[in-house]
Amino acid sequence: MRKLVVLLVLVVGTFAASALPAGAITGDYQKDIEHPFVGLVRFYDADGHYMHRCSGSLLTSTVFLTAGHCSVGTSTARVYFQQSVAANYDPQTGMDPVTGYPKDCGPGTLGVTCATSAEIYDYDFAPAWRDFPNTRDVGLVILDQPISMPEYGELATSGTLDALAIRRGLQETTFTHSGYGLSEINPVHEVSLLERLMAQSKLTNLSSALTDGYNLQVNFNGLGYGGACYGDSGGPVFYGEFPSNTIVAITGWNRNPNCAGVGYFYRTDRQQVIDWILRTVPQDQVGNIKFAG
């Protein structure tokens, strides 16, 4: 996936494109047609002004999971679920006439592949990383229009990754990332395809001072691996190789400004996080959230 970028002190500004933390799938990536429930979300303030964009995933037809640093301080949002949200972008009009990106939902797409939201939450996201490494970097966007999908993301059960911190043995240590962030970054230019892409990484650590049971640390380097970068923030981290749907973490931050090396992701397989999600989503959706593992 696009490699996660962001200096520790700049975490909140890296993952979300144009404003906050957020990364893009990089390295050895491919188009993600395996996870149609992963979407691109644009956030707006109380006056309707655009703030930033991130990635995220549907847990049910109306419950969209993203990062807390993406959702905090926002008022409304629009989410696109097309594999490519700007394939027909017209520079003359400043939008894609098919998807409507970035100004609206395209003709016939509202409630089909595009939705709006005025109900947004964050898991008491810790600004300025006051409680680091427990940043509580989880957010929820409740869609105004339900989006019907053949499948949705599944949350890993509590403690799914705990055993990896003690003894990995022959256990799975590969993770799959998905999102709409930058695909390339270097000192000269940045490339954003505005496509849903995915890539794999390998587990590095679950119990260091930067993880401490709250974050998942992975390595983007190596043959066949990729990472996350600007714009991928909030996107799901799946446990295992494609096409796993089991979400164990949310794309968070990277200490390398070139979206390379090592990335850190806030774990969702913790009982406190699961409890918050179940308390926060509309009660008629609680029973629709699926768990795996």
CA angle 20, 135, 51 (to 5 degrees): 20
Summary mean pLDDT of the chain: 83
Q: Using an 8 Å Cβ cutoff, are 24 and 182 in contact?
A: yes
Which residue is it, tokens 């949350």?
Answer: 155
In three-state secondary structure terms, 110 is strand
Q: Using an 8 Å Cβ cutoff, are 246 and 292 in contact?
A: yes
In terms of DSSP H, where are the helices of the chain?
11-14, 68-71, 162-166, 271-280, 283-286
Q: What is the pLDDT of residues 25-74, one digit of tens each?
A: 555 678 899 999 999 999 999 999 999 999 999 999 999 999 999 999 99
- The average pLDDT across 4-14 equals 31
Q: What is the pLDDT of residues 63-122, one digit of tens each?
A: 999 999 999 999 999 999 999 999 999 999 999 999 999 999 999 999 999 999 999 999
Instruction: Determine the Cα–Cα distance for residues 50 and 134; give it in Å rounded to an integer.
Output: 28
Instruction: Determine the Cα–Cα distance for residues 208 and 31; give it in Å rounded to an integer.
Output: 32
User: For residues 75 and 224, which has the higher predicted lDDT (pLDDT)?
Assistant: 75
Q: Using an 8 Å Cβ cutoff, are 7 and 21 in contact?
A: no
Q: What is the pLDDT of residues 191-201, one digit of tens each?
A: 566 899 888 88
The domains located in the chain, with CATH, are: 38-150+271-282 (2.40.10.10)
**What pLDDT score does 227 carry?**
66
Q: How far is residue 208 from each of residues 39, 132, 156, 217, measured CA to CA in Å?
A: 31, 12, 22, 9
Q: How far is residue 62 from each of residues 53, 78, 111, 145, measured CA to CA in Å?
A: 19, 12, 10, 7
Burial of 116 (0-12, 13-18, 19+ CB in 10 A): middle
**What pLDDT score does 181 carry?**
80
Q: Mention every residue, 6+ apart, whose C-beta is less than 8 A from residue 71.
A: 43, 77, 120, 121, 122, 125, 139, 140, 141, 234
Instruction: Determine the Cα–Cα distance for residues 71 and 25; give it in Å rounded to an integer.
Output: 20
Instruction: Determine the Cα–Cα distance for residues 182 and 37; give it in Å rounded to an integer.
Output: 19
Q: How far apart are the first and last CA of the chain?
A: 23
Predicted confidence band of residue 187 (pLDDT cuts 50, 70, 90): very low
Residue closest to 248 by CA, chosen among 129, 125, 163: 163
Give the pairing type, strands 291-292 and 154-156.
parallel
